[in-house]
Amino acid sequence: MPELPETETIARDLDGAIRGRKITKVSVRKADVLRGVTARALAKSLRNATIVRSWRRAKLVVLDLDTGDRLVVQPRFTGALLIDDGGFTGPELSYSTLRLELDDGRSLHYADVRRLGTVALMNAKRFDEYSRMLGIEPLDRAFTAKHLSAVLRATSQPVKKVLMEQRKIAGIGNIYANEALWRARIDPSRPAASVSLEEAKLLRASIVGVLEAAIEARGTSFRDYRDARGKRGSFVEKLEAYGRGGLPCRRCGHKLVSTHAIDGRATTLCVTCQR
């Protein structure tokens, strides 16, 4: 489930690997991943375009093209952007939905087992409109404790749910919301508006800290996530809350509790040290 650190890892890998490469051929095998563009139109727009940059916004991998268009990939749960150096055989190719052949003989695949991920082609105007709908980047300088506090004060929704709202803060999903709240010792079910400025300072530092550490570890591969080389991220070993229900809290030793009470999503917390 690529959240910010996983998407950042993919985008950085691709930037190093295929920046400057020209797309020579486009094959669409499963057109239902496409959004707002037909297979035919996508192929026409991408053929002979050069990839000038790969970067991340929220949980999106964005490939800037020299045509001014942007290829925007949202991997959701099982999507992966994989570079094929020529070694891909049957198994690696079986879930490929889209293949971009490059001018150096390699290919970039968008593979997605469950196909809930999406691929869109946007011109600059449309991308800006879309990006404007998304919230602040938590690793941006502007993401201060004051900013976070203002976001939280505006609603009585559970603080965990607010952290995951992409229109408010971009890139945090279920795993890192659980982790950040554990680090900050805040109960995920608390009304967001009840979080004090002092607590918001600690929460901001916890969010930034866990995201940066996860990027360092190349992400969390709990189940499906793979980077552009098909490799797993190692942050799963560092998780303190997510997936550890019933296991002892590494801070106080009490058993962590799992619930689905907030927005129907798996939440794990230490009821002793998260208040």
Partner DNA sequence: AGGGGAACCCGTACGC
Partner DNA sequence: TGCGTACGGGTTCCCC
Nearest distance, CB of residue 45 and DNA, angstroms: 20
Residue 148: closest CA among 126, 123, 170, 169: 169
Please indicate whether residue 265 is annotated as part of the active site.
yes
Q: Which of 29, 30, 201, 265 is catalytic?
A: 265
Residue 181: closest CA among 142, 140, 152: 152
Residue 106: closest CA among 17, 8, 40, 46: 17
CB neighbour list of residue 213: distance below 8 Å, 6 or more residues apart: 235, 238
Please indicate whether residue 2 is annotated as part of the active site.
yes
Of 97-116, which residues contact DNA (CB under 7 A)?
113-116
Tell me, what DSSP letter sits at residue 235?
Answer: G
Of 12-31, which residues contact DNA (CB under 7 A)?
30
- CA dist 24 and 47 (Å) reads 6
Nearest distance, CB of residue 122 and DNA, angstroms: 12
Nearest distance, CB of residue 57 and DNA, angstroms: 11
Q: Considering the rule CB under 7 A, would residue 271 count as an interface residue with DNA?
A: no
Provide the H-helix boundaries in the chain.
4-18, 39-46, 90-93, 124-133, 145-153, 159-163, 174-184, 197-216
Nearest distance, CB of residue 265 and DNA, angstroms: 5
Kindly indicate which of the ranges 99-107, 151-159, 203-211, 225-233 contains the residues binding DNA, using the contact rule CB under 7 A. 151-159
Nearest distance, CB of residue 115 and DNA, angstroms: 4
Identity of the residue, 21 or 161, whose beta carbon is nearer to DNA in the bound complex: 161
Of 241-260, which residues contact DNA (CB under 7 A)?
260
Nearest distance, CB of residue 171 and DNA, angstroms: 8
Q: Considering the rule CB under 7 A, would residue 166 count as an interface residue with DNA?
A: yes
CB neighbour list of residue 274: distance below 8 Å, 6 or more residues apart: 181, 182, 185, 186, 187, 188
Q: Which of 12, 21, 59, 244 is catalytic?
A: 59
Q: Which of 2, 5, 75, 138 is catalytic?
A: 2
- CA dist 55 and 248 (Å) reads 38
Please indicate whether residue 3 is annotated as part of the active site.
yes
The single residue among 79, 138, 173, 219 that binds DNA, judged by CB under 7 A, is: 173
Of 205-244, which residues contact DNA (CB under 7 A)?
none
Q: Considering the rule CB under 7 A, would residue 157 count as an interface residue with DNA?
A: yes
Q: What are phi and psi of 224, to 5 degrees?
A: -100, -20
Q: Considering the rule CB under 7 A, would residue 190 count as an interface residue with DNA?
A: no
- CA dist 243 and 227 (Å) reads 21
Residue 24: closest CA among 135, 97, 99, 91: 99
Q: Which of 3, 8, 101, 240 is catalytic?
A: 3
Of 70-89, which residues contact DNA (CB under 7 A)?
74, 76-77
By the 10 Å C-beta count (0-12 exposed, 13-18 middle, 19+ buried), 129 is classed as exposed
- Can you give the binding site for DNA, defined by CB under 7 A? 1, 30, 32, 58-59, 74, 76-77, 113-116, 154-157, 164, 166, 173-174, 260, 265-266
Give me the active site residues, please.
2-3, 59, 265
